[in-house]
Every structure is written in structure tokens, then in C-alpha cells.
Amino acid sequence: MRIKVGKASVRRQRMNRFDRSEIGKRKQICMNALLNRPWIDKKKDAEIYYWIKDQYLEIKDWFMHYAGYSIILNRNFIKLEKVPTIALPWMGFQEFREPLDYSLFTYSLWYLENKTEGEQFLLTQLVIEIRHYMIEQGMDVNWANYYHRLSMARALKKLKNLNIVQAVDGEESNWASNYEHYDVLYECTMYSRYILRNFPTELSNYTSIDELKETMFYGNDSKEIEIRNRHDLYRRFLLEPVVLNHQWHGNLSYLENEANFLIKNLKTMFGWEGNRYREGILFFEADSMSGSEIFPTQLALSDLAMLLCGEVRMMVMNDTLDTKVDLNGLLRLTKNEIERLLIHLKERFGEFWTNEHKKMNSSSLAEDICEHLSEWGFGHWEDHMFFVINGAGGRWEVEYGATEQVD
């Protein structure tokens, strides 16, 4: 029998190239899923769950080495323990409106500690025990107060959305409207014990909020300092939409020295495209199917925000206007200047705007757009007088135009 070694070798090489490419793509999907979801549920996302298991050691080691993040893996789900270096307002629960919402959410988790998976309980039992415990801690909540009940309802709704509890019968909104005549039956799930992150020591040992960001203890020798710097670097670029040079709190030379490897590393592991600009490093997601929330969002407000940034960019490029940009790429505009720009843009492009934005006065519209830009790291209010647009915001150049649809 004659063996055709050459042809078999070529076929094997092609299969290996395809396999490596497919494995790399799956790894990027897994990394983005872990980063953007509370956890990966085996029942709901069996494919990704098993993809992560197949590459578990590599993924686990990468997150621990570069970000100091650990991974919880069990027979039901996989969770990445994410902790930001800098806690920003938008990182909270968007559904919550009051600090009390967070308090009641946390005290509900305290109540669930003594419950087993599948155990059922009534809302009336929950609120009675929570109130008693809060009073012991020097806090008070009054369920006769409608707004306190609304906070409890929002906390419970978030617990349901995260699948920490399941409603068997009833709705918390009905209880909030008439707490004396309505009740809700809930069932505890396995996630109640995993929603809170693990801390390297007892919470009572912490003396400041800033200490809570650490996922491990760092020493003071050069090796430990290097590890801390690396973890801070990757945590910021993994969790924050924009990190510019002037926003870097450490030694800027460290960021500059690590820039090329950071860009290459995040491209390999997440599929993100990174570029170096004068103002800093910006990352873009080439594949919008990663499951993360990216800018521009689906909101019409993102369109207006980009339109405003594009108009500001044209102002800067027009030498006759003498628009001043500082060395960090920051441009300060008063609210009145922003309103004038929006009035001008409305005259030109108002026909493309939503009815809501067409009817809004310039002051309210300016506030909403500036808040949207702030949430995405493109600017911030300074002393309640100036809105500062940074270099990332100045990278947009957009306009409305006709598009053709091909059948």
C-alpha cells in the first residue's frame, strides 16, 4: 500500500489552522461573556458554559495574572469576580433610584443567607425580619411609608432579574400599592450565595471604602508593586469605556511602556481593536455581537451626543474661531455654548430627531446629552460651570445623510 504523505499533511495543516482559528474565536466569546454578564448559566448558555470549561485553565490564569480576578466554576454556572479600580456612578444598578434601594437589596441578601435552594418564603416575613434587623443596626424603615415600599419593590425586582429569587405567586408592585392586602410568595435559588463577591479578609477589617477594591493583599516590594500596577491597568481598561492619559492616576511612563502589549493582549483575548492617540489609548469592539453595551447605544441620545461632538470637532478645526484646547486634549464649554450648538444643530437636522427631543427645550436637552457623554467617559462637568469634552469625544465626526437600501 502506498501512503500519500504530502496530501495528508496538507489536509492536516488546513484542519489545524481552522481549529486554532475557531478556538481563538470561542475564547474571545467566552472572555467577553464572563466580563459582561453576572454569570454564565449552564441551562441558559450551555454552549458557552462548556466552551469556558474546555479552556478553563487558560482563561482562569489570564484573569488572575492580569486583573487579579478569580473565577467560580461549579456544575450550574461560571462567574467572574469583577471589581473596578475606580467605582463610577454608572456601575450601579440603573433601576435603583435611592440609596435605600441598595440597602434593602443588601439586607434581602442577608435574609436569604439562612435559606436553602428551593426554600419558599413570604414577602411579609422578609420585610418584618429586615426591619427588625435594621433597627438593631441603628437604621429605620417604615413599611407604612409608600416610598419605602417602592424601594423594597425595586430591590426585589432586581433580585428576580438576577435570578436570585423567583416569584411563585404575586407581584411586589401590588404589595407596594397596598401592602395590607397583598403578599408575594418567593422561592430561593442557588445564586443567592454567590451574588456578593468574595473578600480576602473579613469586612470588619476594612477601614475605608477604597480598600474594598482590592481582591488580594499586595506587599511593598518591587515585585508586589509591579503586580498591583498590572492589575490596576487591566481592570481600568476592562471595565471603563475610556481611560485617557490625564485620567491615569499612576506613573504615566508605566502606561506608555505597557501600551503596545496591552493593545495586542486585549486584541488576542477579547477581539478588541486598540489605537494609540495623543490623548491616550482607545479600544473599539470590532464585533458588536460580544454582548457588551457599547457606544453608540441604541438610544437616540447617542446620535445627538455624537452629532454634538462632531460639531465641536469642526469648531476646533476651524482656525478662525480660535477654540482653545489644552495640552491634554480637553475643551471647556459653558452650558450656554452647548445650548447654542444644539439650537444650530436642530435647525439643520431636526427633521431626523425624535419627537421627544424636538420638543425639549435647549437647556434640558443639553443636560441629558452631557449626562450621556459623562456616563461614557467623553466628558464631565467642572465646578457646575463648564462641561469639559475630552479627546475621546473629539474623535467623532458624524452627520446625517441619505442611505440606500439594497434588496
pLDDT band, residue 319 (cuts 50/70/90): low
Cα distance between residue 333 and residue 383, in whole Å: 12
Cα distance between residue 2 and residue 10, in whole Å: 17
Is the pLDDT score of 153 beyond 90?
yes
Is the pLDDT score of 63 beyond 60?
yes
- Judging by beta carbons within 10 Å of its beta carbon (0-12, 13-18, 19+), is residue 187 exposed, middle or buried? middle
Cell 455581537 locates to 289
Cell 493583599 locates to 217
pLDDT in tens, 373-394: 998 989 999 887 889 999 888 7
Give bridge partners of residue 332 from the DSSP assignment: 388
pLDDT in tens, 157-205: 999 999 999 999 999 999 999 988 889 999 999 888 888 888 888 888 8
Taking alpha carbons only, the member of 336, 346, 401 closest to residue 370 is 336
Give bridge partners of residue 185 from the DSSP assignment: 122, 169
Cα distance between residue 206 and residue 281, in whole Å: 34
Phi and psi at residue 133, in whole multiples of 5°? Answer: -70, -40
Cα distance between residue 165 and residue 192, in whole Å: 7
What is the distance, to the nearest Å, from the Cα of residue 376 to the centroid of all Cα atoms in its chain? Answer: 10
pLDDT in tens, 91-128: 888 899 999 999 999 999 999 998 999 999 999 999 99
Q: What is the mean pLDDT of residues 290-317?
A: 84
pLDDT band, residue 9 (cuts 50/70/90): very low
| First-last CA distance in the chain | 55
Residues 6+ apart with CB under 8 A from 347: none
pLDDT in tens, 258-295: 999 999 999 999 999 999 988 899 999 877 655 677 88
- What is the DSSP-derived secondary structure letter of residue 116? P
pTM (2 d.p.): 0.83
Is the pLDDT score of 15 beyond 50?
no
R_g (Cα) of the chain, nearest Å: 26
Is 42 in contact with 77 (CB distance < 8 Å)? yes
Residues of the chain above pLDDT 90, percent: 60
Domains of the chain: 7-80 (no CATH), 90-193 (1.10.10), 300-395 (1.10.10)
Q: Are strands 40-41 and 77-80 parallel, antiparallel or unpaired?
A: antiparallel
Q: How many other C-beta atoms are found inside a 10 Å radius of the C-beta of residue 198?
A: 9
Q: How many other C-beta atoms are found inside a 10 Å radius of the C-beta of residue 404?
A: 4
Q: What is the mean pLDDT of residues 194-223?
A: 84
Say what the pLDDT of residue 13 is. Answer: 42
Say what the pLDDT of residue 372 is. Answer: 92
Is the pLDDT score of 312 beyond 80?
yes
Higher-confidence residue of 129 and 22: namely: 129
Residues 6+ apart with CB under 8 A from 360: 368
Question: What cell was used for 82?
Answer: 469583577
Cα angle 335, 296, 258; round to 5: 95
Q: Measure Cα distances from 323 to 45, 187, 188, 278, 319 in Å.
A: 51, 60, 59, 18, 8
